[in-house]
Amino acid sequence: MNAQPKGWCPGAYRPMMSGDGLIVRVRPWMGRLSSAQLDAIAAISDQYGNGQIDVTNRANVQVRGIHTKDHGAVLDALAQANLLDANSVLESRRNVLISPIWQEGDLTCRLADELVRRLEELPDLPAKFGFSIDVGPVRHLSAASADIRLERAADGRLIVRADGLDAGRLVAEDEAIDRVMDLARWFSARRDKQFRRMALVLQSQQPEGTWQELTPTHEQSEPQPELTEHGQIVGLPFGRLATKLISEITLKCLGVRLTHNRMLLLEGISGFGHDDAITQKDDPLLRVDACPGMPHCISASIQTRTVARQIATKVSGTLHVSGCEKGCARKSAANTTIVGRDGLIDLIENGTVQSTPKIKGLSPQQLLNEI
Chain residues that interact with ligand SF4, rule: CB under 6 A: 18-20, 291-293, 297, 299-300, 322-324, 326-328
**Least CB distance to ligand SF4 at residue 296 (A):** 8
**Least CB distance to ligand SF4 at residue 339 (A):** 9
Edge-first strand listing for the sheet containing 344-351: 288-290, 319-322, 334-341, 344-351, 359-362
Q: Say how far apart CA 350 and CA 331 lie, in whole Å.
A: 13
Cβ distance to ligand SF4 smaller for residue 163 or 289 = 289
* Residue 226 CB burial class (10 angstroms; 0-12, 13-18, ≥19): middle
Residues 6+ apart with CB under 8 A from 6: 16, 326
**Least CB distance to ligand SF4 at residue 325 (A):** 7
Cβ distance to ligand SF4 smaller for residue 128 or 326 = 326
Residue 289 phi/psi, 5° resolution?
-115, 135
User: Could you tell me which residues are beta bridge partners of residue 263?
Assistant: 235
**Least CB distance to ligand SF4 at residue 333 (A):** 16
**Least CB distance to ligand SF4 at residue 88 (A):** 23
CA dihedral 219, 130, 249, 225 (to 10 degrees): -30
Cβ distance to ligand SF4 smaller for residue 6 or 117 = 6
**Least CB distance to ligand SF4 at residue 305 (A):** 10
Q: Which of 107, 212, 114, 112 is nearest to 162 (CA)?
A: 212
Cβ distance to ligand SF4 smaller for residue 16 or 266 = 16
Cβ distance to ligand SF4 smaller for residue 137 or 343 = 343
Which residue number has the CB closest to ligand SF4? 323
Cβ distance to ligand SF4 smaller for residue 110 or 331 = 331
Q: Say how far apart CA 75 and CA 67 lie, in whole Å.
A: 13
Quickly list DSSP for 120-174. Answer: GGS----TT--EEEE-SSSBS-TTS--SEEEEEBTTS-EEEEETT-S-BEE--HH
